[in-house]
């Protein structure tokens, strides 16, 4: 089985699972992360096959949706798709470790050491949490999980334990718990450049939000 066949199998499997998602972690999120990864990789020159596999699989068994052992489940999925035995053991380890450890919550206390491919997909995933798309995803996720837009009486940042257990208390809190922090955690120069503009978009949105909230305009 060649690499394109393996990619197609994984793509079809992930698309089937994610296409009806309503939390902002849908198939189009996966597509954007892949596209951002390829954009970043124009400068980084990492392994495109591994980049693609990590981008496709990175959210499949995220703790927000899957409560079992994500590492074991990823291995099981690759075995069931019949592609596990066609990938070098070192590359399998790279794919699995990157998927399990590139998320924001996995790096809440300290940054995990990832491969170049893992760092690129991590950047691509973080970029999708910023800018106009990032704003849309915050409110989509918040609404799906029953969170209010904002509560001025409950604006404390959550701890790592709280973040993993319950997440941000309101949609607006999420910008301060996560979105506004992403700019400072980019790995690659390409992502750092893109993040500057997307971060400013977040800042501008919040300024406008609070002016309207407070009846200033």
Rounded to an integer, the average pLDDT of 176-202 is 96
Q: Which DSSP state fits 113?
A: P
pLDDT score, position 165: 67
Calculate the alpha carbon distances from 170 to 20, 79, 163, 183, 189 in Å: 24, 39, 12, 21, 32
pLDDT of residue 154: 78
Instruction: Give the Cα separation of 201 and 193 in Å (integer).
Output: 14
| Mean pLDDT, residues 114-141 taken together | 97
Contact 81, 9 (CB under 8 A): yes
- Render pLDDT for 50-101 as a digit per residue (tens, 0 to 9): 999 999 999 998 877 778 899 999 999 999 999 999 999 999 999 999 999 9
pLDDT of residue 87: 96
Q: Note the pLDDT tens digit of each residue in 130-144.
A: 999 999 999 999 999
Write the CATH number of the domain with boundaries 3-213: 1.10.3210.50
Domain ranges in the chain?
3-213
pTM greater than 0.95 (yes/no): no
pLDDT, position 62:
83
Average per-residue pLDDT in the chain?
A: 92
* CA–CA gap between residue 25 and residue 18 (Å, rounded): 7
What separation, in Å, do the N-terminal and C-terminal C-alpha atoms of the chain show? 61
pLDDT digits 0-9 by tens, 154-183: 777 777 677 766 678 899 999 999 999 999
pLDDT higher than 80, residue 108: no
Q: What pLDDT was estimated at residue 201?
A: 98
pLDDT at residue 109 is higher than 80: no
**Quick one: which of 19, 17, 38, 16 has its CA closest to 28?**
19
């Amino acid at each position: 089985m060649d690499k394109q066949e393996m990619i197609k199998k994984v793509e079809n499997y992930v698309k089937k699972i994610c296409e009806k998602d309503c939390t902002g972690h849908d198939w189009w999120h996966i597509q954007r992360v892949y596209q951002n990864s390829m954009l970043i990789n124009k400068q980084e020159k990492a392994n495109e096959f591994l980049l693609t596999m990590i981008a496709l699989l990175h959210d499949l068994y995220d703790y927000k949706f899957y409560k079992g052992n994500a590492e074991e489940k990823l291995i099981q999925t690759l075995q069931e798709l019949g592609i596990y035995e066609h990938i070098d053991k070192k590359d399998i380890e790279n794919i699995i470790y990157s998927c399990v450890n590139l998320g924001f919550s996995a790096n809440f206390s300290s940054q995990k050491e990832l491969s170049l491919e893992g760092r690129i997909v991590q950047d691509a995933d973080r970029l999708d949490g910023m800018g106009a798309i990032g704003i849309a995803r915050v409110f989509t996720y918040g609404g799906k999980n029953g969170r209010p837009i904002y509560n001025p009486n409950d604006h404390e940042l959550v701890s790592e334990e709280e973040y993993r257990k319950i997440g941000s208390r309101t949609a607006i809190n999420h910008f301060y718990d996560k979105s506004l922090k992403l700019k400072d955690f980019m790995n690659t120069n390409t992502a750092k450049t893109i993040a500057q503009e997307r971060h400013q978009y977040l800042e501008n949105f919040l300024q406008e939000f609070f002016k309207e909230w407070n009846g200033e305009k």
